[in-house]
Structure 1
Amino acid sequence: MTITFDYNKKQVIQALRYHFISRTELRIMVILVNAFAILSLILYTIGKITPTAFLTYSFLWIILMVSLWFILPSVVYKKAETFKHSFAMHFNADDFTLEHEHGKRSWPYSALQSFKETPNFFHLYFDTRSFLLVPKDAFKDLEEMQSLREMLKNKI
């Protein structure tokens, strides 16, 4: 099976958000910061902390959320040259190949640690930080996408 694709900036940024939010350490940090924000609201409401302290905690919460949701995905997108190329991807029984105008590279399926499916992409993970995004809209039909989904489930 062969697919060709270009990356859509909006979809890639959303996929990067999914990637960052799925990271355990970031998820724990978000939970802790949200719990801290709720605690500061409760302490402010019962008069245990000053309005200045509450506003400071709220400001830090907003900065963290904006950073995770907007700034981090945008910075990664802008730094990665990968998202600006056109690609062809070949899926065979034993390996898969990513190809663009500057060359190509093949990997056996055993090189993948896992895969995740999000609304617009298949995320093929080599490790916790290295991954390929395969756009779902590159497939000609639902049957072809289902075929890749089953192949990934069987191979990884």
Structure 2
Amino acid sequence: MTVNFSYDKRQVLQALRFHFLSRPEIRVMIILVNVFALFSAALFYFKKVTPLAFLIGSLLWIFIMISIWFVLPGAVYRRAATFRDHFTMEFENDFFSLGNERGSRSWQWSSLTKFIETPNFFHLYFDPRSFFLVPKSSFGSSDAIFEIRQLFKEKIQKKA
């Protein structure tokens, strides 16, 4: 199966948000910041801390949420020229390949550690921090999306 695609900025930013929010270290940080925010709100309510301390805690929460939701995905998008290229991707039984006007590269299916499906993309992971986004819109029909999903499930084995 061969697909051609380029990226839509809004969809890529949403996919990057999903990637960052799925990282365990960011999840833990968000949970800790939210617990801290609730704890500081409770202390403020019971008049155990000053309004300034509560305001600083609230600003910290707002800053972290803005950073994860807007700043981090935007910085990755601006830094990576990949999202401005046009690609051709081929999926074969033994390998898959990716190419653009500057060249192409092939990989064995075993080089992928996992795949994740989001509303607009398939995230193909080489390792926990290195992945490639394949837009679902490039497959054309829901039957083609179903076929490629089955191929991914068959070829990409989760490694322990």
Structure 2: 5+ residue runs without aligned partners?
Answer: none
What does 1:89-104 align with in structure 2 at a 5 Å threshold? 89-104=89-104
1:35 aligns with 2:35: yes
CA distance in 2, matches of 1:140, 1:95: 21
What does 1:69-84 align with in structure 2 at a 5 Å threshold? 69-84=69-84
1:125 aligns with 2:137: no
SS in 2 for 1:119: coil
Structure 1 residue identity aligned to 2:25: E
Output one character per residue of 1:57-107: Cα deviation in whole Å (capped at 9) or x when no partner.
000110000000000000000000100100000000001000100000110
CA distance in 1, matches of 2:140, 2:20: 29
Match of 1:53 in 2: 53
CA distance in 2, matches of 1:48, 1:102: 62
Match of 2:88 in 1: 88
Output one character per residue of 1:25-47: Cα deviation in whole Å (capped at 9) or x when no partner.
00000000001000000000001
Tell me the TM-score normalized by structure 2. 0.97
SS in 2 for 1:125: strand
CA distance in 1, matches of 2:120, 2:113: 20
Cα root mean square deviation, aligned = 0.4
Structure 1 residue identity aligned to 2:86: S
Structure 1: 5+ residue runs without aligned partners?
Answer: none
Match of 1:16 in 2: 16
Deviation at 1:11, TM superposition (A): 0.2
Deviation at 1:119, TM superposition (A): 0.4
CA distance in 2, matches of 1:22, 1:87: 26
Deviation at 1:140, TM superposition (A): 1.7
CA distance in 1, matches of 2:113, 2:139: 23
Output one character per residue of 1:2-42: Cα deviation in whole Å (capped at 9) or x when no partner.
00001000000000000000000000000000010000000
Aligned length: 156
